[in-house]
Structure 1
Amino acid sequence: MPSQMKLSAITLDCSDPLALAAFYQQATGLEPHAKSDADFAALVREDGLLIGFQRVAGHKAPSWPDQAVPQQLHLCFDVVDLDEAEARLLELGAAKPDHQPQEDRWRVLTDPAGHPFCIVRG
């Protein structure tokens, strides 16, 4: 029987790790990792899950929904009120693509580095 695996980290490529960490910190309320710097910044959830942001030279933002530059992954966040969460995230620097597959159930937004993420009525 294989050993169980526990997800411990998710890391996003970007050109400015500190700026992207600041966006997600404001969006989620997660605590910054003590050893964040200009090349790698991270946020930590109470259960230890880390969301990391690593500097990649020449990073190209995903072009969702067009796949010229694939999204590679996306994060989903449960929210109570879609409209309220969307407005708050847009104020923080997120963008809203025109293409919204099921806007009444979830919204696709992009973070300041261009990564798509979803807010889902939780």
Structure 2
Amino acid sequence: MPLRMKLTAITLDCSDPEALAAFYRQATGLEVHPKSNSDFAGLNGDYGLLIGFQRVDDYRAPCWPDQAVAQQLHLDFVVDDLDEAEALLLELGAAKPEYQPGGEGWRVLIDPAGHPFCLTKRAV
């Protein structure tokens, strides 16, 4: 019988937790966790899921799609309009790498700490 577990948090390493939390707060509208600080910041997600950002000394950003520093994980977000979401996220500080393997189906962006994340169009 499998162990019954509930996912409660996803945490990304970074050099500036408060700045990365601010980027994702602006992008998602999630509320900042009340115990956030300069070493660990969090955003309260749906169904009790916390997205956390923890300070790591000598943090090295992933090199996507190059594997010199592996991406380790990435987040996926569904959006209504890929072009609109991309434009907003670029204004907030995301970057768009040249390599885009998703064609018209999805986009890869890079957050301010170097983590790749994907945008997918919401199915109608």
CA distance in 2, matches of 1:35, 1:5: 24
Q: Where does structure 1 differ by over 6 angstroms across 4 or more consecutive aligned residues?
A: none
Secondary structure of the residue aligned to 1:76 is: strand
1:103 and 1:52 map into 2 onto residues whose CA distance is: 30
Instruction: Name 2:102's counterpart in structure 1.
Output: 102
Q: Match of 2:35, as an amino acid?
A: K
Q: Which residue of 1 aligns with 2:42?
A: 42
What RMSD, in angstroms, separates the aligned Cα atoms of the two structures? 0.7
TM-score normalised by L of structure 2: 0.96
Q: Deviations for 1:64-104, whole angstroms, at most 9, x for unmatched residues?
A: 00000000000000001000000000000000000000230
How many matched pairs?
122
Report the 3-state secondary structure (helix = DSSP H, G, I; strand = E; otherwise coil) of the residue aligned with 1:47: helix
- 1:15 to 2:10 alignment: no
For structure 1, the residue ranges without an aligned partner over 5 or more in a row are none
Which residues of structure 2 form unaligned runs of 5+?
Answer: none
In the alignment, the residues of structure 1 paired with residue 116 and residue 19 of structure 2 have an alpha-carbon distance, to the nearest angstrom, of: 16
Show CA shifts across 1:10-62 (max 9, x none).
Answer: 00000000000000000000000000000000000131100000000000000
Percent identity, please.
Answer: 71
Whole-Å Cα distance in 2 between the matches of residues 46 and 7 of structure 1? 12
Distance, in Å, in 2 between the alignment partners of 1:71 and 1:115 is: 7
Aligned partner letter, 1:95: A
Cα shift at 1:6: 1.3
The equivalent of 2:91 in structure 1 is 91
Calculate the TM-score normalised by the size of structure 1: 0.98
In the other structure, the counterpart of 1:76 is 76
- The whole-number CA distance in structure 2 between the counterparts of 1:107 and 1:91 is 16
What amino acid is aligned across from residue 48 of structure 1 in structure 2? Answer: G
